[in-house]
Amino acid sequence: MFKFALLLFLVATLARSSTAATVVSCLEDHGLEVEDSQSPNWMDATTPFNTRFRYIPAAIVYPKKTSDVSEAVLCAVKYGLHVSALSGGHSYSASGYGSRNGTLVVNLRNMGRISPHSSSDNNFVIQSGIRLGDMASELYSEYNRSMAHGTCPWVGLGGHAGFGGWGLASRNWGLVIDQVIAAELVQADGTVVNVSATERPELYWAIRGASASYGIVTQYTMKTQEAPVNVTRFAYNFAFNFTADDRAPERFAEILSAYQNWSFTAPKEIGIVANVWQLGQDLELGGIYMGSRTDFDPIAASLLNATGEPSQRYVQERSWIEALEEVNGVTKLSTEGIPEPRDTFHAKSLVVSMENPLAPDSFSKLAKNFTTSIPSNFSWFIQFELWGGHNSHISSIPADATAYPHRNHHWTVQFYGRTNGSWFPQYTEFVDGLADTLAQGKELGAYANYLDPYLQGWKKKYYDRNYARLEEIRKKTDPSGVFLKSQNIGAAD
Ligand SMILES: Cc1cc2nc3c(=O)[nH]c(=O)nc-3n(C[C@H](O)[C@H](O)[C@H](O)COP(=O)(O)OP(=O)(O)OC[C@H]3O[C@@H](n4cnc5c(N)ncnc54)[C@H](O)[C@@H]3O)c2cc1C
């Protein structure tokens, strides 16, 4: 029996490596830059951001232009391989590597250029292989422009814009997908198409929330804004002593409930997150106000009137780019010359709607949970990100206007646990336990950019009522599943 299994494994390995070899020849015949298991850099090239997930591609190709992407897709199709785009590689579960072994990975690192759009000073054509830090930095330094997008400089535009793309300016300007005017897409048959409100509107709808299922977006046309002159950075910290003070869980719940109630009417210029760090000894309400400190002060007073006095306050006026750097804790946003960071973690998200806010006792139960059952050699955080409220741009868009569905969204709550090396099941259980405690049995949605590969019922949780329409479009554009992988449209629930 064992010999037979070994034989099957060897046959499968040989078959895989001969497919890899032929696809590599096909790519090289087209003059494309390729790496495979023979390359000296293979180990590094295949190590994802979350080191818990490692898939071995058939090969990695590095296109320099759209026609290269098209030829790469055709080579993969010719040899029966699945294709996956890799932009910044910052997926939570290495989905850019195809979520299985043997995929042709199209690494877009050589396609990260920004150029002003010919027809408008406000619009820019941005290639999808750019990282958010490089994009923010270049838009600001070369053109004095800005956009709403996520905070980590290393995240790639390709994945981030594919599933939503939230940042501290999003309540004011929308998610990244809300700033997409048009896109260029390489499809499963290698054809290159433009999508916009007037050209292939169904695909334009689908790529704004689920792009990875429809092809490889090579570039976006994005609406940008003049960089704000004044941004007010703020952070209010509330200290707790959970071990010595029995009332601490109730006080923790009071503050989060006050923040939740206040945020329904918060002005759209506020981007705010409640961060709870390791042990929950500190809760920080921090973010940016897109305006002067004078305008911010009365808004802050209304928040602190609701929460009570913090133990520490920090408020400073900054330029747009300084505020982004400070939020990220970096002195420059450009990633050039900085070694690629990596982490070992598990994360979950919950989407809390405006109609169904969280009850105060879910916060106090959460506090009791995280103070009693923490595994050793493990750190964690929870973020209560404000996406909605009555004044938010995100909530002003109908749920069926883009593939991203959660427009009645109030908070996205993110639970993240990490270690410096090995991973044990109790770490995953701890993170899942925090999310379950907060949800209290409610079936809440989830955010597809905070990808959770173990999520049950992901079709409904990520895409809600938009899933059926997404599946219809995918059946027409990728009937043989060239881009199919775990949690892409059409995969098993
Ligand atoms: C440290 C960190 C901080 C983060 N902060 C935020 C945040 O503030 N806000 C937020 O909204 N999200 C945030 N995220 C989540 C992030 O937006 C997603 O993980 C995102 O999908 C990563 O994109 P990527 O291009 O780096 O990843 P990749 O692994 O390259 O790609 C992720 C997915 O997108 C697909 N994809 C990539 N490029 C393309 C393309 N050009 N065309 C089609 N499909 C493509 C891939 O195939 C894969 O399925 C954060 C993630 C990390 C790790």
Tell me the per-residue pLDDT of 186-216, one tens digit each, with 9 for 90 and over.
Answer: 999 999 999 999 999 999 999 999 999 999 9
CA of 43 to the centre of ligand 1 (A): 21
Among the residue ranges 8-12, 158-162, 435-439, 487-491, the one predicted with the least confidence is 8-12
CA of 86 to the centre of ligand 1 (A): 9
Tokens of 85: 């785009």
Q: What's the maximum distance between 2 C-alpha atoms anywhere in the chain?
A: 77
The CATH fold of domain 22-107: 3.30.43
Question: Mind listing the pLDDT tens digit for each residue in 130-146?
Answer: 999 999 999 999 999 99
Q: If you compute the radius of gyration of the chain from its CA atoms, what whole number of angstroms results?
A: 23
Instruction: Give me the pLDDT at residue 154, please.
Output: 97
Residue 485 has pLDDT above 70, yes or no: yes
CA of 349 to the centre of ligand 1 (A): 15
Instruction: Give me the pLDDT at residue 244, please.
Output: 86
pLDDT-derived band at 5 (thresholds 50, 70, 90) equals very low
List the CATH code of the domain at 114-227+465-477: 3.30.465.10
Ligand 1, atom 40, lies closest to the CA of 158
The residue written with tokens 């804790």 in the block is 329
Residue 107 CA to residue 454 CA, distance in Å, equals 25
Instruction: Give me the pLDDT at residue 398, please.
Output: 98
Tokens of 356: 């169904």
Ligand 1 pocket member 148 (CB < 6 A): no
Ligand 1 pocket member 96 (CB < 6 A): yes
Ligand 1 pocket member 221 (CB < 6 A): no
Residue 428 CA to residue 408 CA, distance in Å, equals 29
Ligand 1 pocket member 310 (CB < 6 A): no
CA of 127 to the centre of ligand 1 (A): 14
Ligand 1, atom 3, lies closest to the CA of 152
Ligand 1 pocket member 95 (CB < 6 A): yes
Could you give phi then psi for residue 128, rounded to 5 degrees?
-80, -5
Ligand 1 pocket member 489 (CB < 6 A): no
Ligand 1 pocket member 147 (CB < 6 A): no
Ligand 1: atom nearest CA of 488 is 49
Ligand 1, atom 37, lies closest to the CA of 159
Mean pLDDT of 451-463: 97
The backbone region for 332, taken as left when phi is positive above 0, alpha when psi lies in -120 to 50, beta otherwise, is beta
Ligand 1, atom 34, lies closest to the CA of 159
Ligand 1, atom 1, lies closest to the CA of 152
Mean pLDDT of 431-459: 96
Residue 2 has pLDDT above 60, yes or no: no
CA of 234 to the centre of ligand 1 (A): 27
Could you give phi then psi for residue 274, rounded to 5 degrees?
-95, 120
Instruction: Give me the pLDDT at residue 3, please.
Output: 52
Residue 474 has pLDDT above 90, yes or no: yes
Average pLDDT score over the chain: 94
Ligand 1 pocket member 249 (CB < 6 A): no
Highest-pLDDT range among 120-124, 377-381, 405-409: 405-409
Could you give phi then psi for residue 273, rounded to 5 degrees?
-140, 140
Instruction: Give me the pLDDT at residue 183, please.
Output: 98
Instruction: Give me the pLDDT at residue 118, please.
Output: 85
Residue 393 has pLDDT above 50, yes or no: yes
Mean pLDDT of 290-318: 98
CB 308 within 8 A of CB 285: no
Ligand 1 pocket member 335 (CB < 6 A): no
Ligand 1: atom nearest CA of 152 is 3
Residue 434 has pLDDT above 50, yes or no: yes
Percent of the chain beyond pLDDT 70?
96
Residue 367 has pLDDT above 50, yes or no: yes
pLDDT-derived band at 436 (thresholds 50, 70, 90) equals very high
Instruction: Give me the pLDDT at residue 369, please.
Output: 84
Ligand 1 pocket member 161 (CB < 6 A): no
Ligand 1, atom 28, lies closest to the CA of 89
pLDDT-derived band at 279 (thresholds 50, 70, 90) equals low
Beta-carbon contacts of 177 under 8 Å, excluding residues fewer than 6 positions away, are 161, 164, 165, 208, 209, 402, 404
CB 211 within 8 A of CB 162: yes
Instruction: Give me the pLDDT at residue 14, please.
Output: 46
DSSP 212: G
Tell me the pTM. Answer: 0.95
Mean pLDDT of 272-300: 93
Select from 46, 51, 91 the residue to mutate for testing ligand 1; criterion: most ligand atoms less than 8 Å from CB: 91
Instruction: Give me the pLDDT at residue 243, please.
Output: 82
Residue 11 has pLDDT above 90, yes or no: no
Ligand 1 pocket member 220 (CB < 6 A): no
Ligand 1 pocket member 49 (CB < 6 A): yes
* Closest to 447 in 3D by CA, of 405, 393, 388, 399: 405
Instruction: Give me the pLDDT at residue 17, please.
Output: 67
Ligand 1 pocket member 405 (CB < 6 A): no
Mean pLDDT of 211-234: 98
Instruction: Give me the pLDDT at residue 9, please.
Output: 41
Ligand 1 pocket member 152 (CB < 6 A): yes
CA of 87 to the centre of ligand 1 (A): 8
| Domains in the chain: boundaries | 22-107, 114-227+465-477, 231-463
Instruction: Give me the pLDDT at residue 318, please.
Output: 98
Ligand 1 pocket member 151 (CB < 6 A): yes
Question: Mind listing the pLDDT tens digit for each residue in 400-423?
Answer: 999 999 999 899 999 999 998 899
Ligand 1, atom 33, lies closest to the CA of 159
CA of 129 to the centre of ligand 1 (A): 11
Instruction: Give me the pLDDT at residue 355, please.
Output: 94
Percent of the chain beyond pLDDT 90?
89
CB 371 within 8 A of CB 279: yes
Ligand 1: atom nearest CA of 447 is 11
Residue 28 CA to residue 23 CA, distance in Å, equals 9
The CATH fold of domain 231-463: Vanillyl-alcohol Oxidase; Chain A, domain 3 (3.40.462)
Output the CA torsion 442→443→449→453 (10° steps).
Answer: 110
Ligand 1, atom 44, lies closest to the CA of 212
